Amino acid sequence: MEINEKYSDRDRAEMWRDYFETTALELKELKENYNYLISEYHEAREANKRLRQSLKELVDVGTKFLS
């Protein structure tokens, strides 16, 4: 009976090890995806700021031209 219990304990330990390894890999991938999305967000935000500034300058020039 003890031999079977040892094998089942070993099997359970391997199962949990595999589970934690898989979970760690999934978390690593999620973190990489998160970092990529944050990077893309900051780039888009900076591009939007530049676009707004250009648009504001264009409106100001147009307003001065019409005055």
Q: What is the mean pLDDT of the chain?
A: 92
Cα 24 to Cα 16: distance, rounded to the nearest angstrom: 12
Task: Tell me how long the chain is.
Answer: 67
pLDDT tens for each residue of 45-62: 999 999 999 999 999 999
User: CA–CA separation, 15 vs 23, rounded Å?
Assistant: 12
Name which residue leads in pLDDT, 21 or 5. 21
pTM: 0.64
